[in-house]
Amino acid sequence: MSLDTPALLRFLTSVHPYDTLPRPALEALLPAFRSRHMAAGEDIYRLGDALEGLYLIHTGAVAVSDQNNVQISQLGPRNSFGERGLGRDGYAVTSARTTEDTLLLILPKSDFLRLVETEEAAKKFFDRSRTPKPKRPDLATSPVETLMAKTPLTCSTSETVQTAAQAMATARVSSVCITEDGALKGIATVRDLSGKVVGGGLPFDTPITDVMTPDPLSLPPSAIGSDVLHMMMERRIGHVPICNGKTLVGIVTQTDLTRFQATSSAELVSEIAHARDAQEMAKTTARIPQLLVQLVGTGNRHEVVTRLITDIADTATRRLLALAEEKFGPPPVPYLWLACGSQGRQEQTGVSDQDNCLMLDDSYSEEHETYFKDFADFVCDGLNTCGYVYCPGDMMASASRWRQPVSVWKTYFKGWIAKPTSEAQMLASVMFDLRPIGGTVSLFEDLQEQTLDLAAKNSIFVAHMVSNSLKHQPPLGLLRGFATIKSGEHKNTLDLKHNGVVPVVDLGRVYALQGGLTAVNTRARLEAAQAAGVLSSSGGRDLLDAYDLIAETRLEHQATQIKAGHAPNNYLAPANLSDFERSHLRDAFVVVKSLQSAAGHGKGMLG
C-alpha cells in the first residue's frame, strides 16, 4: 500500500509540525516522502545502522529499544522517530522493529535536515534540547493573568447602593463590578459611594446603576502589565476589569499591582525571618502558591523556581529553631538540623511535606532527651502549621530514631551500606539528600565525606542502589506513548512526581554515589557527574534536557491549577497537552528510560 499525493497531504496536515508549515512549503515537501509497508516483526533498523531519514508511522506500531535491547517506547500512528541519530552523525542510537503490519513514511536525511534549517516550526519540534528561558521580566511585561484577582466582587443591576456597600465592606475590597448574565455593565468604587452617595446626599436605596460608571474601560486576558499601568496612568483610574469578550473574568487594582511587586521570595523571607510565631509565619507561607504562579508565568527556569521556594522553607525552619531556643533556652549540647527529601535537594514545588532530622554532638546524654524532644516537636509542629505537613512516613526529627548523636548516625549509615536491605536502600536514598539548615554544620561535614567514600567503595551497595533507582519507571505505554494511571481518583493522568522527576532524582543520586560527588541538588548532580566522567557527555546532555522538560511541565501544571483556584498536585492529564507537548514529553521519558537501562546494565549512555 502506498499513498497518493492528496492522501499524503491530508495525513501530514493532521501531524505536528507539518500542520503548521506554510502550504507551499508543505506541498513542496510531498515528493520527498517515500512509503514502505512492513510486516509485523521486521527490523526497521538496528543500533549503529546508517539511517535513511526520518520515519513517520502512518498505520501500525513500532517498538524502539536501547543499546541493551530493552524496549523504551512503543509508537503508533503520527509518531516520528530516528531524528536523534540524524541530528548527530546519521547513525541509529536505538533499534526499531515493527510489532504489527505497518506503513511507514520516510523523509530522506537531506530533506529532513533542510526542513529543520528552513522552517522554524520544524526546528523547534525536532530540536529536543530546551531553549533557556528568558530572564524574569518586570511588572510591566508580566501577563495580566498573573496580576488579576480572578473572583472579583459582583452584584446585579437590581442592587441598591447600601447592599453594594455592605458587600464591599464584608469582602474588604474597594470596588464592585455590576454584571448581568455574566456580562460587565458597570463598576462602582468606594470613591463613587463616598462622593456620589454620601457627598451627594442620596438615599441608601438608590439603585447601584445610578452611581456606577457604565461600560467601564477594560482589558482582555491577553493584555500585559504595561497595558494596565498605562491605562491607570492615562485615565487616572485605580481599577481595570478584565473581560473575555463581554464576560467579566477578573479585575486588576492598584492593590493587586502592589501585591504583585511585593510577592517575591525576598519579601516572604524577610517577613518569615521577623515573624513572632508559627501562626504569623503561616500567613506568609500561604502566599507561596501565588509566588509559584508568578515565577513560572514570568519565565524562570524550574531550578530557579524550586530554589527560591525552598529558600522560604529554609528560612521558616531557621526561624522556628530560633523561637525554640527562646522558648526552651540554649541547647545543652551542639546540634544540627538537616533537611532531606525535596527540601534537602532544594527542589520544593507547590506540594511539599517535611522530611528532616536532628544530629546531636556526641557529648549528648539521656538527661538531654527531654530538651531535644520538646525542641524537635516545637519545630515540626510549627512547620506543619506553615503548610509543610507532617511526613507520612514519620521521617522527622520529632521521631526519636531521627534525633540521635553523630556516632549513632555513623552506625546507621555503616549498617545500611553493609547490609543493603529494601528498607536500608529506601532510608539511604532519603538520607543521601541531607542538607544542613541550622546549627553546628561541622557535625555533618566529616560524616558526609566518610559516608560517601564508604558507599562508593562498596560495589554491592552501589549495585543495590542502582536497582532501587529503577523502581520508578517513566510512564511510557501504547496510547500516544504514555501509560496513564488506570483507576482511582487520578485515573487517566500521569504522575509527574513519582514517574516523572523521581526517576531522574534517583539516577542523579546513583551518579553522585558512584563518583563520590557531594552535590545534593539533582541538576547539580547531573552536571557534576557529566564533568567527572561518571555520565557520558552525550548522555548527560540528553538527561539534563529531559529533566528540564519534565520538571518544567510539572511546575507549569501546578501553576495552571493554582490559577484555576485549585490546590496544586502532580497529576497531569495528557489530554490537556498539545500534540507538540505530548511528543516532547514522550521523548523526555524515552531518554530517562534509556539512562535507566544503561545504569541497570552498568553502562553509560551512548556517546
- The CATH superfamily assigned to 139-260 is CBS-domain (3.10.580.10)
What was the pLDDT predicted at 261?
A: 64
- 315 phi and psi, to 5 degrees? -65, -45
**Alpha-carbon span 265 to 254, nearest angstrom:** 21
Q: With contact defined as beta carbons under 8 Å apart, do 520 and 435 qualify? A: yes
Residue 265 has phi, psi (to 5 degrees) of -60, -35
Nearest CA-CA partner of 386 in 394, 378, 396, 375:
378
Supply the pLDDT for residue 108.
93
Nearest alpha carbon to residue 381 among 314, 336, 316, 287: 316
Please check whether residue 336 is in contact with residue 435, taking contact to mean a CB–CB distance below 8 angstroms.
no
Please provide the DSSP assignment of 75-93 as one string: E-TT-EE-HHHHTTTSB-S
- 467-600 CATH choice from 2.40.160, 3.10.20, 1.10.1760, 1.20.120: 1.20.120
- Residue identified by cell 551542639 is 334
pLDDT at 136: 47
Q: Which residues of the chain have pLDDT under 70?
A: 1-2, 68, 87-88, 127-141, 259, 261-263, 478-480, 602-607
The letter for the amino acid at 521 is: N
- Strand arrangement, sheet containing 335-339: 403-405, 356-360, 335-339, 435-439
**pLDDT of amino acid 91:** 83
pTM, to two decimals:
0.71
Task: Give the count of alpha carbons within 13 A of 146, CB side only.
Answer: 26
pLDDT at 94: 84
CATH number, domain 263-457, options 3.20.20.150, 3.40.1360.10, 3.40.50.300, 3.30.460.10: 3.30.460.10
Q: How far apart are CA 297 and CA 145, in angstroms?
A: 9
| Strand pairing class (102-108; 71-75) | unpaired
The domains of the chain are located at 5-126, 139-260, 263-457, 467-600
According to CATH, what is the number of the domain 5-126?
2.60.120.10
